[in-house]
Amino acid sequence: YWRRGGHYVEHFIFLMHQQSGAYLLLTLGLVIHQFMFKLQVGWLLVIAWIGISMLLSMKRFYQNNWAWTIAKWLIYCTVYVFGLVVLFVATLLVVFVVF
């Protein structure tokens, strides 16, 4: 989003807002799953809702057309999942080496 002309802080606040909402939703899902009833399809719905809300938020915040928004959303999701996998594997390696 270099052409938009925004500052880094605006993008950072947007991302932190999305992350905190996703973590809150996942925590709520864990509490419901643990204490109330078991959610089998519910986890798929929670993950789908997090993705859809990110897509809609990006559309509203950056005000691009749908094609650009979906393309950037797919790139963001791919990089995010790749980073998550890399950090997870790195954490496992550190744990196995230390313990």
Q: Give pLDDT tens digits for 12-55.
A: 898 899 999 999 998 988 888 887 777 677 788 888 899 999 99
Q: What are phi and psi of 6, to 5 degrees?
A: -80, 170
Cβ pair 54, 73 in contact under 8 A = yes
Round the average pLDDT of the chain to a whole number and report it. Answer: 88
Cβ pair 46, 25 in contact under 8 A = yes
Cβ pair 22, 50 in contact under 8 A = yes
Tell whether the model's pLDDT for residue 1 goes beyond 60. Answer: no
Cβ pair 90, 80 in contact under 8 A = no
Cβ pair 75, 36 in contact under 8 A = no
